[in-house]
Chains A and B, each alone.
Chain A
Amino acid sequence: MSANHLRLPPFGPKFGGAAEYIVIPALALFSSLVLFGIFVASFGKNPLDLYFYMYQGAFGTWFSWQNTLTRAAPLILTALCTALPAQLGMVIIGGEGALLIGALAATGAALVLPSAPPLLVDVAMALAGMAGGGLWIMLSGALRHYRGVNETISSLLLVYIALAILNFLVEGPMRDPASLNKPSTYSVGAANMIGSIPGTEVHWGLVYGLVAAVLSYILIYHTVFGFAARVAGGNIRAAKVVGLSVGRLILIICFLAGAAAGLAGMMEVAAVQGRANANLAAGYGFAGILVAFLARQNPLAVIPVAILLGGINASGGLLQRRLDLPDASVLVLQGVIFVMVLASDTLYGRWSIFKGRAS
């Protein structure tokens, strides 16, 4: 192995670092697909069929592309919920909770504005969703800063609390008595639904996600605020020494993170479900954690990774129909990818090919 890559020309110091961040995750992704193929083969399915249908269901046709992009939209936003606090060195895994609270707040906003013009209702829904989700994650940030409560655990506990609030409101005070089999809130109104991007079946939520990701990237890498956040993430003592207000950074970043996931919740209500019900807890929040880690917490890299993961999600249906695989197979593959990506962290800085002049 070592003799082999000594003969290869070095990538050079300029591209070496960046290439490493693409090659290693790609390698982890590839080996996860191989592992998943072996797993599926052990149940007597042909792994080549598996890869074919996965490709077909994700990117094979225009129809599957639209399905993929529709699922990628909330994933971009929930991934930001993990990626933004990660700049401060925080591990937030409560995107699912912020999504649910955002969805509830957005539904509430639409229900209190029954006769307002649709544009106003949509703006109110988006603002309410972002505020709800933002405050939800900001609570985790505040607990971390003021009380030293571990944010990973508190944000996950808040997911279960959000789920209980959703079930309570949907089956209690906000319930539409006409929804018998699946308890739901009243509809937000057909006129208020966010439409599709012209010429496609993909709703405008995808654009929300893209804009949010680009804005996050600019905020983190091209503003003083983002620079301060990254300083605090690198070394919290150094940040305090140079006079940064770490508490303010934590609260604002956590609010923005939760607002992204809350917007995803608003979108699922206003573009997909039309009302709040248990369908909202579809796991986008959890898959978003994976997207953020696979993108190495970079807000721009979140976009292609979310499309990739959206594709894997989208292919689940086809795998179920053609190969008779359980719907949980998508979860297994996501889990394998997640574990492989984390394990691949150990490879960074080990291969001299990426270092330019070998050390």
Chain B
Amino acid sequence: MAGAGDIGLWTIPVAVLGGAVRVSTPFLFVSLGECITERSGRINLGLEGTLVMGAMAGYGISYLTGSPWLGVLAAGITGMGMGALHAGICGLPRVNDIAVGIGLMLFGVGLAFYLGKPLIEPTAPRLPSIDLGWWTDIPQLRAALRINALFLIGVALAPILLWALRTTRWGLIVRTAGESADAALAMGYSVNLIRLRATMFGGFLAGIGGSFLSLYYPGSWNEGLSSGQGITAVALVIFARWNPMLCLGASILFGGAAALGPALQSVGFSHGYHLFNAAPYILTLLIMIATCSPKRTLIGAPAELSITR
């Protein structure tokens, strides 16, 4: 490597930057969706299953129709269905939402592997990327700045959701259901219906996050596609204090952590590669240790949420 391509140790931060943008997108979509679901007072731990189902459905529809964007839509609708299933079961009296989430995680992963068996071989059209690095000659930087439109949509969605939660009537209803089911009931709203819609919205976004995995990065469908991004994103919402803008920041941080291993490998530092793969999970754990407390409930936690009570 010589000349314009040789940027020495700068390769690592540039690769981490590019990786952070790529890897953070599924985190971003899942955590934004889960943020809304949790603000309505219910936790959906099944998003890992939703993510994998979305990845499978997106890939399948993209392969069948030739349009990756139709695949993204199909992934969202699939995720919405999974969300409706979770909310429908949790709407029954005396059913535990955390346990149902675990059940749906296993169910979604199993179903996606079953239905996705014929999709491992074929190659589906992938999502295009937007070249934001036209101004530079450094190939590594250019590669890092080749960004997917879904990432930009997610970045735009975060402030919109924050605004919607804070100022719109719809946001107020969701927050009321999350803070006090009785208050929502007294206002004449069905708590189950609010949570059904919030969970379906969360599932929709998680499904889209899954389609990013199969249609952009890594960009193929196989059974090892997701390794806990869904559940990490649920933890990330807690870290982000149920605030969509903080979800955005946290997702990029996590994406950077996950990109560290491949970035080091790209400069030939491959010792302990697998340990670096654990970085996002270790980071999640450390952050939860640092921010949780046994004595008080978390600031910003919806009062109806079973996970913080």
Contact = CB atoms under 8 A, between A and B. Distances in A.
Contacts of A158: 281, 285
Contacts of A149: 285, 288-289, 292
Interface string A161-190: 101110110011000000000000000000
Interface stretch (B7-15, B65-73, B106-114): B106-114
Contacts of A329: 114
Contacts of B45: 152-153
A343 B87 CA distance: 11
A168 B275 contact: yes
A143 B228 CA distance: 20
Interface residues of chain B: helix, strand, loop or mixed (majority): helix
Interface string B285-308: 100110011110000000000011
Contacts of B228: 156-157, 159-160
B289 A164 contact: no
A167 B277 contact: yes
A328 B274 contact: no
B113 A164 contact: no
Contact of A147 (B85, B227, B271, B292): B292
B99 A157 contact: no
B104 interface: yes
B108 A164 contact: no
A159 B292 CA distance: 20
B231 interface: yes
Contacts of B308: 150
Contact of A148 (B95, B110, B294): B294
Given A150-B307, A328-B114, A335-B111, A342 B95 contact: yes
A221 to B, nearest CB: 22
Of residues B103, B274, B284, B308, which shows the largest number of chain A Cβ atoms within 10 Å of its Cβ? B103
A339 B273 CA distance: 37
Contacts of B100: 339, 342-343
Contact of A328 (B113, B273, B277, B293): B113
A290 B100 CA distance: 11
B190 interface: no
Chain B interface size band reads 35 or more
A152 B295 CA distance: 19
A91 interface: yes
Nearest to B288: A149
A346 B94 contact: yes
A64 interface: no
A289 B102 contact: yes
A355 interface: no
A331 B98 contact: no
Given A148-B294, A150-B238, A154-B288, A338 B103 contact: yes
Given A148-B293, A346-B92, A339 B275 contact: no
Interface in A312-359: 326, 328-336, 338-339, 341-343, 345-346, 348
Interface string A272-294: 00000000000000100110010
A126 interface: no
Nearest to B278: A164
B96 interface: yes
A346 B93 contact: yes
Interface string A46-84: 000000000000000000000000000000000000000
B96 A326 contact: no
B274 A167 contact: yes
Interface string A22-34: 0000000000000
B89 interface: yes
Interface of A: 91, 93, 143, 145-150, 152-154, 156-161, 163-165, 167-168, 171-172, 286, 289-290, 293, 326, 328-336, 338-339, 341-343, 345-346, 348
18 contacts: A143-B289, A149-B288, A157-B228, A157-B285, A158-B281, A160-B278, A167-B274, A172-B274, A289-B102, A328-B117, A332-B114, A335-B110, A338-B107, A339-B103, A339-B104, A345-B96, A346-B93, A348-B94
Interface of B: 45, 49, 85, 89, 92-96, 98-100, 102-104, 106-111, 113-114, 117, 223, 227-228, 231-232, 234-235, 238, 271-275, 277-278, 281-282, 284-285, 288-289, 292-295, 307-308
